[in-house]
Amino acid sequence: MPQRRTLLLTRPAAQSAEFAMALDAALPGRFRVVAAPMIEIIALPGTPDLAGVGGLLFTSANGVAQFADRIARRDLPAYCVGAMTAAAARAAGFEAASAGGDVAALAALVAAHCHPEAGALLHVRGRHAAGDLAGRLVAAGFEVRAAEIYDQRRRAPGAEALALLEGAGVEAVAVFSPRSARIFAQAARDGGWDLAGTTSVALSVAADAGLGDAGFARRIVAAAPTREGMIAALAEI
């Protein structure tokens, strides 16, 4: 049997564990997965006000989880940036549509299926958000409110991941968001990690761009910003 490749997952711990299970089911024994979260999700106080809201905008599964923990209502339609976020919304009980892309695709989806007269759109988000979703929708005539209910705090890799990175023992690194990619790239520069033998696999073009010039031997971007897309990209290694 071929030796397993060492893969670092940079998502928050819970999402990394979930993805690792799906990866091993699809590609059994292919990877030795090591969790190396670059951010941790910290709940912020407060409950979103839904008065006058006609729809929800979710740009991450973390936003879905944080909202679902605070509010029992599931009658508002959920418009989601991608398939993984939409899957999380459906699992939480929402009727969810996926834009299958980035915030530009999400704005286009909303513009095609919603009317400004139906009520405000509530963007459930973290403190750090990529792209100007609200600006795009306001320009199209929608009222957009922000519900900033969690923070994505920077964190250092754990001891196991750090030992592998310092010893050039990592064969692949998976990044799922521009922010986690930027944090990883900065940590690589600060730590002097040798990535010349490492392949990066990014969920999207934006996530890949966040890596900057981190010095990877090879960079792969998933053909679709979905769990299945990431697994297919990892199968290329």
Structure confidence by residue, pLDDT tens digits, 4-37: 999 999 998 888 999 999 999 999 999 999 999 9
When the pLDDT of each residue in the chain is averaged and rounded to a whole number, the result is 93
Same domain, 79 and 127: yes
Q: What is the pLDDT of residue 177?
A: 87
Are 143 and 167 within one domain?
A: no
**Would you say residue 1 has pLDDT above 80?**
no
| Domain tally, the chain | 2
> What is the chain written as a DSSP string?
-PPPEEEEE-S-HHHHHHHHHHHHHHSTTSEEEEE--SEEEEEPS-----TTEEEEEESSHHHHHHHHHH-----S-EEESSHHHHHHHHHTT--EEE-SSSHHHHHHHHHHH--GGG-EEEEEEESS--S-HHHHHHHTT--EEEEEEEEEEE----HHHHHHHHTT--SEEEE-SHHHHHHHHHHHHHHT---TT-EEEESSHHHHHTTTT---SEEEE-SSSSHHHHHHHHTT-
Same domain, 66 and 133: yes
For residues 71 and 136, state if they share a domain: yes
Q: Which amino acid is at 185?
A: A
| Same domain membership, residue 9 and residue 20 | yes
In a shared domain, residues 139 and 188: no
Task: Judge contact between 208 and 178, C-beta under 8 A.
Answer: no
Last residue of a domain, one of 103, 134, 152: 152
- Whether residue 55 is predicted with pLDDT greater than 50 in this model: the reply is yes
Q: How confident is the model at residue 2 (pLDDT cuts 50, 70, 90)?
A: low
The residue from 136, 152, 168 where one domain ends is 152
> 180 and 204: one domain?
yes
Residue 45: which residues within 8 A CB-CB, separation 6 or more? Answer: none
pLDDT digits (tens, 9 = 90+) for 168-217: 899 999 999 888 999 999 999 999 999 999 999 999 888 999 999 999 99
Contacts of 96 (CB under 8 A, 6+ apart): 58, 77, 78, 79, 80, 85, 86, 89, 90
Domain, as residue range, for 179:
5-38+155-234
CATH code where residue 161 lies: 3.40.50.10090
Q: Are residues 31 and 87 in the same domain?
A: no
Is the pLDDT at 101 greater than 80, yes or no?
A: no
Whether 135 and 163 map to the same domain: the answer is: no
Q: Tell me the per-residue pLDDT of 119-164, one tens digit each, with 9 for 90 and over.
A: 999 999 999 887 789 999 999 999 999 999 999 999 988 999 999 9
pLDDT at residue 106 above 90?
yes
